[in-house]
Structure 1
Amino acid sequence: MSLDVDVPEGALARTLAGERVWLLPQRALWWPATGTVFVADVHLGKAATFRALGQPVPSGTTQDNLDRLSAVLEATRAARLVVLGDFLHAAAAQQARVLDPVHRWRERHAAVEVVLIRGNHDSRAGDPPASLRIRIEDEPHAMPPFAANHHPRTVAGAYALAGHLHPAVTLHGRAHERQRLACFCETPDLMILPAFGAFTGTTSAGMPADARCHAVGGGVVWAAPERT
């Protein structure tokens, strides 16, 4: 299934296991041959979980995440969305304040197949309600030539796509300033996606030693300088 869709501005083309994919500045990976968009670590309800603990964190992050998901689906005209784990943040997300906007978002994209690869936070939060019509799969989930994971691990006979790490790269300026940017991490047999959620944090720890980083910043995905 090949869709006649213009390449989104700022995207970076990569060829993985012989398949052309696009790394999008919206922190998503688009596989146009099958009409599939991959995202990782959405963490819906994370802010609500913190507020339930009495911590004064911003509201509105769930709707912001859903609006950005909608923008990616509409820009690519995706037929399928694959979430590489951690769709919901915690059991506290299983409340109407979080799930009502998710239901409205799902109705807006009723024709899109949604697949969730169960991640560590999903295991704690519990599966999304059946009314959301999200198919749940355990990792590794075969989507030849890819394997959809949550945890960044290689899979024999497939190119693995994963999340979990919330990867970032730190850039250093001439005046000793530093800037941390979310990034895609690519190795010969694994691509780790940046966290899609807006309230998730990032880290440069735990990335494979041979990872090539593609930074996300300024509405563009670009090859970051080699890590030291």
Structure 2
Amino acid sequence: MGKSLTLKMTKSVSIHGQNFILHPTGAIFWEEEDLLLISDVHLGKISHFRKYGSAVPRQAILGNFEKLDEVCHFFNPQKIVFLGDLFHSALNKEWIYFEEWLQNISPEVILVEGNHDIISPLKYEALGIRIYEELVLQNFLLTHHPEERSGYFNFSGHIHPGVRISGLARQTLKLPCFFKSPGQMILPAFGEFTGKHILEPKKEDEVYVVTKDEVILLK
């Protein structure tokens, strides 16, 4: 599909003179750097649940890889930066799917380590993946845990941000979101079955709700 900016499913945001596109999968494309940001995929979590008896369908394992294919084909980036928690825990059979997925993409892949990333760095390095504790590009700080650092705008994950929306007849709906404060953007969890942490926005915050088909600025 290329880097089409015309589809209303995405939302464009300008930060410090740079242009970012928020995608319904929970990824962000940084136009000037030709770079895709993805956080909290938690590969292996579904297999972990199944191992211990959770009734999660086997087909769900492929859902994360289908989403990765979707957003990579949409933007065709030169680089992909995973903002931590790429894998949920120790090695399991989803690592094989990950190896196969890497063989079919062309971007350089970088991992900013998260608290769940306990797999040996040597395994990633063998696949050509570079690993960092944090990454600084221009005046942007890329981390797993949200950080506040003077002079930098921070992109992070970890929290799995969500927001509660109230409707008629007292219904409430919890949806994942991109949560933007003046110095920070927290990405929603990319992975399936990862849960949400409900945040309460302040006056200066912006909330971009994620649905299956579009990104919507809530406030």
TM-score normalized by structure 2? 0.91
* 8 A Cα contact 1:61 1:199, kept in partner: no
> Structure 2: how far apart are the matches of 1:8 and 1:44?
31
**Paired residue type of 1:167:** P
- 1:214 equivalent to 2:208? Answer yes
Match of 2:58 in 1: 59
Question: Which of 164, 170, 173 is 1:170 aligned to?
Answer: 164
Match of 2:130 in 1: 135
> Structure 1: how far apart are the matches of 2:212 and 2:56?
25
- Percent sequence identity is 31
* Structure 1 gap ranges (5+): none
* 8 A Cα contact 2:39 2:190, kept in partner: yes
- 1:121 equivalent to 2:120? Answer no
1:149 Cα offset (Å): 0.6
1:36 Cα offset (Å): 0.5
Q: Deviations over 1:33-75 (max 9, x none)?
A: 1110101000000011122223332323332111211111111
**Paired residue type of 2:96:** D
Match of 1:203 in 2: 197
1:155 Cα offset (Å): 2.2
SS class of match (1:186): strand
Aligned ranges for residues 1-228 of structure 1 at < 5 Å?
5-7=3-5, 9=7, 10-91=9-90, 94-95=91-92, 97-109=93-105, 111-122=106-117, 124-127=118-121, 128-139=123-134, 141-205=135-199, 209=202, 210-225=204-219
> Structure 2: how far apart are the matches of 1:24 and 1:49?
28
* 8 A Cα contact 2:124 2:130, kept in partner: no
* 8 A Cα contact 2:18 2:31, kept in partner: no
1:208 Cα offset (Å): 6.6
The verdict on how the C-alpha distance between 1:85 and 1:33 changes in structure 2, with shifts beyond 3 A counting, is: same
**Paired residue type of 2:77:** A
* 8 A Cα contact 1:154 1:160, kept in partner: yes
> Structure 2: how far apart are the matches of 1:162 and 1:208?
17
TM-score normalized by structure 1? 0.88
> Structure 2: how far apart are the matches of 1:8 and 1:86?
31
Q: Deviations over 1:187-226 (max 9, x none)?
A: 1110000000012011114x6745321101151111115x
SS class of match (1:165): coil
* 8 A Cα contact 2:178 2:207, kept in partner: yes
User: Which stretch of structure 1 is more off in the superposition, 180-189 or 59-68?
Assistant: 59-68
Size of the aligned set, in residue pairs, is 215
SS class of match (1:151): coil
RMSD: 1.8
> Structure 1: how far apart are the matches of 2:212 and 2:39?
20
